[in-house]
């Protein structure tokens, strides 16, 4: 019987392998909705766009490689829910409030730089071109890292008593505190707790920079005022040369 069964199976016509259906290319919308369309494409299929890098279905975000030629070592963490930007009230609750912690962990994978050389930043509503919330992930400017290290002993953890420092290429004023966790309180909450910020979140730019002390982070806040557009992204060196 065994020989007969084998013979019967051998005589059956071969079943052709199912053809692999290529992923549909992402149709990227015009600004200010480009990132929102990319977030949806990457969440559906990472092969839909060459800049898609990672999708977390459980935590509702994607990682996108920044496609700017001026930012060869830069990434974006973008929620897969519709969130316009820093002025959106959704920033104070999960899953959006958790994006800083997720972004920091992803930075260790995609940048693989020491904490003190790593930075995350979100621009104010006046310093962005896209209407889908996104946090920039890249290296921090060397002069910014040095200034923070120089004033480390002065920087405490109370958002009501931040240290003010002129930072970045234009020496814009940043209010700085130091924290041991990005989850105990979200940097969104910490910045909002600084004087005058919560009433005008659209004007706020926020950055997180690692310190030379393991497990400690600087949280920085600036605001749109005069020539300062509140673009905290200015603290990053997105080619990671320094």
- CB 102, CB 59: distance < 8 Å: yes
Give pLDDT, residue 82. Answer: 98
Q: Is residue 19 part of a domain?
A: no
Cα atoms in the Cβ-side hemisphere of radius 13 Å centred on 171: 0
- CB 137, CB 120: distance < 8 Å: yes
Query: Could you give the CA distance from residue 222 to residue 105 in angstroms, rounded to a whole number?
Result: 24
Give pLDDT, residue 22. Answer: 61
Counting the structural domains of the chain, the total is: 1
Task: Give the chain's radius of gyration (CA, Å).
Answer: 22
Q: Is residue 180 part of a domain?
A: yes
The CATH number that applies at residue 213 is 3.30.428.30
Q: Is residue 12 part of a domain?
A: no
Q: Is residue 226 part of a domain?
A: yes
- CB 125, CB 83: distance < 8 Å: no
Cα atoms in the Cβ-side hemisphere of radius 13 Å centred on 106: 26
Q: Is residue 149 part of a domain?
A: yes
Q: Is residue 1 part of a domain?
A: no
Q: Is residue 26 part of a domain?
A: no
Query: Could you give the CA distance from residue 178 to residue 138 in angstroms, rounded to a whole number?
Result: 19
0.95 exceeded by pTM: no
Give pLDDT, residue 242. Answer: 73
Q: Is residue 204 part of a domain?
A: yes
Nearest alpha-carbon partner for 100 in 126, 79, 128, 82: 79
* 3-state per-residue secondary structure call for 81-146: CCCCCCCCHHHHCCCHHHHHHHHHHHHHHHCCCCHHHEEEEEECCCCCCCCCCCEEEEEECHHHHH
> pLDDT 10s per residue in the chain (242 long)?
333 333 333 343 444 444 445 668 999 999 999 999 999 999 999 999 999 999 999 999 999 999 999 999 999 999 999 999 999 999 999 999 999 999 999 999 999 999 999 999 999 999 999 999 999 999 999 999 999 999 999 999 999 999 999 999 999 999 999 999 999 999 999 999 999 999 999 999 999 999 999 999 999 999 999 999 999 999 999 999 97
- If phi > 0 it is left, if psi is from -120 to 50 it is alpha, else beta; for residue 230 that is left
Range of the domain at 210: 34-237
């Amino acid at each position: 019987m065994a020989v007969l069964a084998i013979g019967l199976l051998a005589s059956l016509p071969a079943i052709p392998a199912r053809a692999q259906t290529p992923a549909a290319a992402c149709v990227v919308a015009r600004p200010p909705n480009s990132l929102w369309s990319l977030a949806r494409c990457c969440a559906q299929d990472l092969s839909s766009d060459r800049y898609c890098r990672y999708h977390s279905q459980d935590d509702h975000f994607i990682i996108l490689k920044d496609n700017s030629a001026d930012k060869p070592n830069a990434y974006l963490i973008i929620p897969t829910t519709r969130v316009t930007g820093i002025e959106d009230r959704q920033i104070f609750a999960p899953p959006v409030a958790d994006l800083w912690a997720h972004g920091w962990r992803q930075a260790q994978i995609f940048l693989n730089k020491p904490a003190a050389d790593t930075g995350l930043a979100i621009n104010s509503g006046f310093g962005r071109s896209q209407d889908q919330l996104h946090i920039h992930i890249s290296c921090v400017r060397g002069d910014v890292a040095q200034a923070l290290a120089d004033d480390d002993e002065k920087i405490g953890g109370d958002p009501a008593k931040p240290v003010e420092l002129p930072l970045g290429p234009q020496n814009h004023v940043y209010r700085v505190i130091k924290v041991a966790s990005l989850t105990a309180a979200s940097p969104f909450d910490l910045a909002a707790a600084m004087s005058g910020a919560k009433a005008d979140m659209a004007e706020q730019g926020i950055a997180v920079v690692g310190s030379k002390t393991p497990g400690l982070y600087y949280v920085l806040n600036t605001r749109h005022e005069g020539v300062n557009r509140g673009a905290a992204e200015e603290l990053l060196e997105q080619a990671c040369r320094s």
